[in-house]
Structure 1
Amino acid sequence: MKQKYLSEVIYQIFALIIVVIVVHAIYVAVIRPNADIIQQQQTLQQEADEDYVPDRSMYIVLRDFEQETCIILFFWALSIIGMKTVRTMRERSLLDRELLQVSDGTSILPEDTRHFARPVQALPEKERGFLLPRAILAGLHRFGTTRDVQDVSATVRDICDNESERLESELAIVRYIAWAIPSIGFLGTVRGIGTALGQAHQAVTGDILGVTVSLGVAFNSTFVALVTSIVLMFLLYQLSLVQDRLVMDSQTYCDDHLIRYLQVPGRSTPQVGNNEAVQPA
């Protein structure tokens, strides 16, 4: 488990470094040079024709440092979401496999728990760390120890609850990025408005170019920040939904493939339904 967390931290650090290098290279080589050329052309056309209305260029919208920072954070968060989505899909693939070879009409007795645990224990080490194998092994071990079906149900439910909380906490960095992006955009707005006010004396003399450029910085940074934040929040909630479904489906799998087959000699098996499934956060 510690190795898993360490690998995630290393992945996030290298993902951030790669995103910074790639995005900054694109800005230096493509976006800012084109933005400067377009800005110069629009300035010349405005000087030649007072009625000229410049077209809105994406190069100019994206060229400032606040927008670059927002895009870097967006793609960094996107890489984290992608990693967690792939891992969740791998865990979901176990739901389509018969990890417990139990046929209808067969019961699992406390003495049989080791036998039924062997196929799960034979899984690759990486897959044994997934939620479903951990829940099954914990349930079988609990049943062999306590000989109580209700204890097994409670154990499976607790593991699923803990997994749900863990998955929720691991999304904290993405939620922080989703909060930070609009904040950076508003910082660009403050910077642009402040610069525009500092050039107000030029506007009084008739030169409004500096004021308009500064106001463009203000509104462009907010525009880019809000758009990227909206897209990021949508992807974040989709990931959260997929993870919640994984937890609920894993508990349902344990109910249908494990708990319903448990039997203690001399006792009737309590009815354990899916009404105890983990509710999404």
Structure 2
Amino acid sequence: MPEPSSRLVWSLRDIEQRMGFRGSRFTRVNGLLSSLIAAAMTIAIYATLMVVEPNVYTDMLTERGFTPYVIVFFTIWSLVILMIKLSKLRLQRRALELDLIPEETGFVLSVATVDRVMDRLFQVSDDPKSFVLLNRVHIALSNLRNLGRVTDVGEILRSQADHDESTMETSYNAIRGLVWAIPILGFIGTVSGLSAAIGGFGKVLSETDDPAQLIDALKGVTGGLATAFETTLVALVAALAVQMLITFVKKREEEFLDECAEHCQRVIVNRLRLNQIETSD
């Protein structure tokens, strides 16, 4: 059995489990935990801004209505999700370093030896089904006795690989929604600012015909327009930054899934020897 330090204990090493929350499977993220962390960080940021000397940047986040507050929260929430996913991905990648096959010269994986490999899965991890690679191997080997050809095992592994890829894609649904909402909130803030600025100018028009007052009111409108568009600027910059990070993290996950497929081919399929290999169609 592997040394305790090298054994993958998901219940102790998963970041969500360590924080006292139910750990989501594979690289999925617990929505409640991520939202609570994001809320705490947002409060901390705005508490800091309260004691910082006001400037153009603090005004963009605190003096433009309610939308900047929501934009900051959604942005931080997205970043927290990505950071948790990276942590969970690092844990998943550690399964690639495990020796799943007994270290014996000429060891052949067959119906007679499959139980040894199955036992090995539970020796190297407390819960193989919580790891992408180990779960994929577990599913294939669990069906080994019912299969007659090596190609059947390979087909199960490919099917599970497709399922894992689909699971990975759906794990980004929440953050995609946040990235979609961030610029929309920016536009809402801009429209709100435009309405207030134009409404103020209309009020002046209805109350006076003095050209000097009209000019002053028009200056207020143009200043209001600049202020209103700042909200959209903040939102677009935030959405762009988050989208770039999503691309980076997703690429890492896709590379990991490719490595899992290669690992299964090399360690499992290439070592299989079945009694009924290719004897019949």
TM-score, length of structure 1 as denominator length: 0.78
Shift, 1:245, TM fit: 1.4
Q: Secondary structure at the match of 2:102?
A: coil
CA distance in 1 between partners of 2:221 and 2:104 (Å): 77
**Aligned AA for 1:107?**
V
After superposition, the Cα gap between the structure-2 partners of 1:231 and 1:117, relative to the gap in structure 1 and judged at 3 Å, is same
User: How far does the alpha carbon of each residue in 1:99-122 deviate from its partner, in whole angstroms, 9 at most, with x for none?
Assistant: 223556432121110012211122
CA contact (8 A) 1:23 1:72 kept: no
CA contact (8 A) 1:108 1:262 kept: yes
Q: Provide the residue aligned with 2:207 in structure 1.
A: none
Q: Provide the residue aligned with 1:79 in structure 2.
A: 80
* Correspondence 1:234 to 2:244: yes
Q: Cα RMSD over matched residues?
A: 2.6
User: How far does the alpha carbon of each residue in 1:196-216 deviate from its partner, in whole angstroms, 9 at most, with x for none?
Assistant: 111225562434453244213
Shift, 1:267, TM fit: 3.8
- Gaps in structure 1 of 5+ consecutive residues: 36-56, 270-281
Q: Provide the residue aligned with 1:243 in structure 2.
A: 253
Map of 1:135-150 to 2, 5 A cutoff?
Answer: 135-150=136-151
**Aligned AA for 1:25?**
A
**Aligned AA for 1:257?**
V
User: How far does the alpha carbon of each residue in 1:107-156 deviate from its partner, in whole angstroms, 9 at most, with x for none?
Assistant: 21211100122111223325541011111111222223324322211111
Map of 1:1-281 to 2, 5 A cutoff?
Answer: 3-5=22-24, 8-30=30-52, 34-35=54-55, 57-63=56-62, 64=64, 65-101=66-102, 105-126=106-127, 128-201=129-202, 202=204, 204-208=214-218, 210-265=220-275, 267=277
Task: Name which structure has the greater RCO, CA cutoff 8 Å, separation 6+.
Answer: 2
Q: Provide the residue aligned with 1:277 in structure 2.
A: none
TM-score, length of structure 2 as denominator length: 0.78
CA contact (8 A) 1:188 1:217 kept: no
CA contact (8 A) 1:149 1:259 kept: yes
CA contact (8 A) 1:111 1:144 kept: no
CA distance in 2 between partners of 1:246 and 1:268 (Å): 31
CA contact (8 A) 1:70 1:184 kept: yes
Q: Secondary structure at the match of 1:94?
A: helix
CA distance in 1 between partners of 2:226 and 2:44 (Å): 25
CA contact (8 A) 2:34 2:81 kept: yes
Q: Provide the residue aligned with 2:17 in structure 1.
A: none
Identical columns (%): 20
CA distance in 1 between partners of 2:266 and 2:105 (Å): 11
Q: Provide the residue aligned with 1:40 in structure 2.
A: none
After superposition, the Cα gap between the structure-2 partners of 1:125 and 1:153, relative to the gap in structure 1 and judged at 3 Å, is same
CA contact (8 A) 2:121 2:128 kept: no
Shift, 1:264, TM fit: 1.6
Shift, 1:268, TM fit: 6.6
CA contact (8 A) 2:67 2:186 kept: yes
CA contact (8 A) 1:139 1:156 kept: yes
Shift, 1:17, TM fit: 2.8
- Gaps in structure 2 of 5+ consecutive residues: 1-10, 12-20, 205-212
